[in-house]
């Protein structure tokens, strides 16, 4: 089959996804597919393996909220897309039989328990990695399922592209010497784009995990609650350099910004003596004392010593 007729075959499949229209207009499966197209375009999915990851949830929820105010549930399309024939689910070790006999998965936690990843037909994945063919498939999805929201979907795509460019620029900035009080990346972009780009860069570096407690916390909807924190606050530094950033859960972000915890020069957690805790919450803060933080894979991306020293001097309460 020539590439063109392969493309045509999948365009037809995209036009006739099995959609349950009884539950209103929100198209679960096309939304999932748009989100994956986005991840492939951004280089976040490079091989034919799509895992139910926080990165996928995040982008799925963005597209979803354009179309409906209803709660998103990525588990439904991720599981049921297999009925359309080009999407194949692969079980986590020990869950092979469970996956084979399961007829529905209703929650994200159950999905992540059973399913390791999904793959497309190889020829479809190869189309999706080609810029032109990917765009044809994306436009097919938009024109078939998002006719009433076309402008919104397209402006989201543009926005995501801008965020991606900014994120890349931030990641490239680490080739230059760290400067604590300014970002070297030009900042004519709007605030929300810069904030989102900084977050994306930090989440990719730390894989949505809190650097202090090393927990990976998802909401019931599958959204990550891990936050991208600035070491020297943005209001002081105006600096979105990833070396001025760290990934923290909400509790540790709160404690870090209030100087109840900090990080020493050996990348170990220090805890303020002011923090007198009793009972269950002790586990969350005081027992982190002396623990090494989670560090990026490449040392070029580590939190800057200069920024950490500033945090210890100006924010930390001994």
* Closest CB to Zn ion among residues 19, 205: 205
* Closest CB to Zn ion among residues 61, 249: 249
112: contact with Zn ion by CB under 5 A: no
On whether the CB atoms of residues 130 and 104 are closer than 8 A, the answer is no
203: contact with Zn ion by CB under 5 A: no
# chain residues binding Zn ion, by CB under 5 A: 5
* Closest CB to Zn ion among residues 45, 294: 294
Q: What is the DSSP letter of 231?
A: S
124: contact with Zn ion by CB under 5 A: no
Return the closest-CA partner of residue 60 out of 94, 34, 85, 82.
Answer: 34
Task: Select from 91-99, 114-122, 202-210, 303-311 the region that touches Zn ion (CB under 5 A).
Answer: 202-210
Q: Which residues contact 221 (CB under 8 A, 6 or more apart)?
A: 57, 61, 71, 72, 73, 74, 108
Cα–Cα distance between 234 and 180 in angstroms, integer?
Answer: 11
* Closest CB to Zn ion among residues 118, 246: 246
210: contact with Zn ion by CB under 5 A: yes
Cα–Cα distance between 43 and 76 in angstroms, integer?
Answer: 25
Candidates 67, 212, 228, 232; binder of Zn ion (CB under 5 A) is: 212
Candidates 17, 81, 170, 213; binder of Zn ion (CB under 5 A) is: 213
Roughly how many angstroms between the first and final C-alpha of the chain, as a whole number?
69
* Closest CB to Zn ion among residues 204, 253: 253
Candidates 204, 243, 252, 311; binder of Zn ion (CB under 5 A) is: 252
Q: Which residues contact 86 (CB under 8 A, 6 or more apart)?
A: 10, 13, 120, 121, 124
Q: Applying CB under 5 A, which residues contact Zn ion?
A: 210, 212-213, 249, 252
């Amino acid at each position: 089959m020539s590439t063109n007729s392969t493309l045509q075959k999948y365009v037809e499949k995209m036009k006739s996804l099995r959609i349950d229209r009884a539950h209103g207009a929100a198209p679960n499966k096309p939304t999932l597919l748009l989100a994956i197209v986005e991840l492939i375009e951004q280089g976040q999915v490079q091989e034919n393996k799509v895992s139910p990851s926080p990165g996928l949830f995040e982008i799925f929820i963005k597209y979803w909220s354009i179309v409906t105010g209803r709660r998103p549930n990525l588990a439904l399309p991720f599981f049921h897309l297999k009925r359309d024939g080009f999407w194949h689910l692969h079980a986590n070790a020990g869950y092979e039989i469970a996956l084979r006999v399961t007829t529905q998965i209703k929650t994200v936690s159950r999905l992540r328990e059973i399913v390791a990843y999904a793959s497309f037909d190889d020829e479809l994945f190869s189309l999706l990695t080609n810029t032109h063919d990917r765009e044809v498939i994306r436009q097919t999805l938009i024109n078939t399922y998002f006719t009433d929201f076309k402008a919104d979907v397209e402006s989201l795509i543009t926005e995501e592209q801008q965020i991606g460019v900014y994120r890349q620029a931030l990641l490239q900035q680490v080739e230059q010497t760290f400067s604590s009080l300014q970002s070297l990346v030009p900042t004519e972009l709007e605030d929300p784009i810069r904030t989102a780009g900084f977050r994306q860069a930090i989440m990719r570096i730390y894989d949505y995990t809190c650097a202090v407690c090393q927990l990976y916390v998802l909401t019931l909807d599958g959204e990550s609650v891990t936050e991208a924190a600035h070491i020297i606050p943005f209001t002081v530094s105006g600096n979105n350099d990833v070396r001025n950033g760290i990934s923290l859960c909400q509790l540790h972000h709160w404690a870090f910004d209030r100087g109840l915890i900090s990080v020493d020069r050996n990348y170990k957690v220090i805890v303020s003596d002011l923090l007198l805790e009793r009972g269950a919450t002790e586990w969350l803060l005081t027992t982190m004392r002396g623990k090494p933080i989670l560090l990026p894979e490449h040392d070029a991306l580590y939190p800057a010593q200069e920024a950490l020293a500033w945090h210890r001097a100006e924010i930390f309460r001994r």
